[in-house]
Amino acid sequence: MHGRIWIVAIAILIGSAFVTLAILNRPAAQGVVRAGRFEVVDLNGVVRGVFSVDGRGGTWLTLRDSAGNVSEHLGVSVDGSAWLSMKTGAPGKGLSLFQKADGSAGINILDAADKHRVALTANTDGSSSLFLMGATGAELIKIDTSYEGSMRLGLWKGESTIRAGMWVNSDGTCSFSLFDSAGKYRTGIYLRPDGRPMLEMCDERNALRFEIGIGSNGVPQISAYDENEHPLWSVPQLPMSSTPASEPPTTRPAE
């Protein structure tokens, strides 16, 4: 009888030892699930959400509608830039926000054809800009401010041809300018830093040909110039060797 008790006791001890060793040797619970991509599907099997890392190292969260079209896209690219886009349909009206790694930020608005129509940007140098674009992209309004305080408004035909512009510069000068179909400056109205007004007209080479303004002596002046901007005549009459009372500006709006 006593022998059986000892056998049972020894068996219990050995079993307990194996159980203890198994507990001590099993891996600790990690509490972390690791993968390169996670997908969430609805009851119909349509992917409604994706959390993934792209091939370039960016991390993205994408949410889709019931038809599988992307509705929201949120992520951080490999350089640290952050992006958020929202839209309806495929394609559809949308809104995107971004902040780049260099500190610049902006907002873009897209139309139903997925084309940019409005773009607002704040740059790291303190300047900012607002772009308004037509449905074809051929019409464009640009409004921007520079870091030193100047402001500009431009009406463009396409991305490279300006037709009209307004400038307010940090030195106190301001102007309204008109450009021809090739984007060449032709006519402008100016206020100099001292407040004197001036109207000028230029030829296709951007050479000053005609000017109406107030001279430095306060006298109204009308002047005409040849193709090399040499005075032809003026009212009041000035000697041909003298400089017109309302001197042609040394700089004009960039083409």
Domains of the chain: which residue ranges? 36-103
CATH label, 36-103, candidates 3.20.20.150, 3.40.50.360, 3.90.930.1, 3.40.309.10: 3.90.930.1
Q: Is a pLDDT exceeding 70 seen at residue 240?
A: no
| Distance of alpha carbon 244 from alpha carbon 122, whole angstroms | 43
Residues paired with 97 in a beta bridge: 84, 107
Q: What is the pLDDT of residues 155-199, one digit of tens each?
A: 998 777 899 999 998 887 899 999 999 999 999 998 988 888 999
pLDDT value, residue 242? 38
pTM given for the model? 0.67
Q: Is a pLDDT exceeding 70 seen at residue 63?
A: yes
Which tokens go with 109?
Answer: 């608005």
Q: What is the pLDDT of residues 101-159, one digit of tens each?
A: 999 999 999 888 878 899 999 999 889 999 999 887 677 899 999 877 889 999 998 77
**Nearest alpha-carbon partner for 120 in 144, 102, 103, 136:** 144
Using 50, 70 and 90 to split pLDDT, how confident is the model at 226?
A: very high
Other Cβ atoms less than 10 A from the Cβ of 203: the count is 14
Match 């896209």 to its residue by tokens: 73
